[in-house]
Amino acid sequence: MKITLSNEDVQSVSVKRIERISGEDLKKCYQCGNCSGGCPVSYAMEIPPAKVMRYLQLGMIDEVRKANSMWLCVGCLQCYSRCPKGCSVAAVLEAMRQSTLRCGKDRTEIKDLPMPLLKKAPQQGLVCGFRKFVS
């Protein structure tokens, strides 16, 4: 069953809530760019990791939510290992994903996945994918 929520419900996710879910203090980031430089998928992100942090510092949650960045982050923690302040953009993007999925906004519908993929993909891969993309 697909839950449909209004824009007000989705926008109720605040920067404070993202900080609480992720355990990160967004104010610590000073945009050095080390996270973006080390991210293996930043080339495909609409908003690179350093800019994600800046957008959130400015309260531009909707821009980050509309971009593909939170869905492409693989959670490798390269951003965290390179950050001089110990910020984890991966944790922040995971918090964004979780809050979006909790609002009932799926990234992928299971019925839209091709049957050959479902038959050949490893079970662990399917479970991890569902955890990341489906509420």
How many domains, in total, are found in the chain? 2
For residues 133 and 88, membership in a common domain is answered with no
| pLDDT tens digits, 29-86 | 999 999 999 999 999 999 999 999 999 999 999 999 899 999 888 889 999 999 999 9
Instruction: Please tell me the distance from the alpha carbon of residue 66 to that of residue 47, in angstroms, as a whole number.
Output: 10
Same domain, 17 and 35: yes
Domain match, 68 and 54 both: yes
pLDDT of residue 74: 86
Which domain does 133 fall in, by range? 109-135
CATH code assigned at 53: 1.10.1060.10
When pLDDT is cut at 50, 70 and 90, the band that residue 1 belongs to is very low
Q: Are residues 93 and 116 in the same domain?
A: no
Residues 93 and 117 in one domain: no
Alpha carbon of 52 to those of 2, 16, 48, 128: distances in Å? Answer: 28, 15, 6, 24
Q: Are residues 39 and 87 in the same domain?
A: yes
Distance CA 52, CA 70 (A): 9
Burial 14-33 (b: 16+ CB within 10 A, else e): ebeebbebbebebeebeeee
The answer to whether residues 104 and 3 touch, using CB atoms and an 8 Å cutoff, is yes
Predicted TM-score of the model (pTM): 0.75
Least confident of 13-17, 37-41, 116-120: 116-120
Q: What is the mean pLDDT of the chain?
A: 82
Q: Cα(17)–Cα(100) distance, rounded to whole angstroms?
A: 12
Identify which of 8-12, 26-30, 97-101 has the greatest average pLDDT. Answer: 26-30
Residues 94, 119 within the same domain: no
- Is 89 a residue whose pLDDT tops 90? yes
User: Are 96 and 41 part of one and the same domain?
Assistant: yes
120 and 61 assigned to the same domain: no
Average pLDDT for residues 127-132, to the nearest whole number?
68
Query: Is 78 in the same domain as 61?
Result: yes
What phi, psi does 71 have (nearest 5°)? -85, -25
Same domain, 97 and 114: no
| Residue whose structure tokens are 């996945």 | 113
User: Residue 116's pLDDT is what?
Assistant: 80
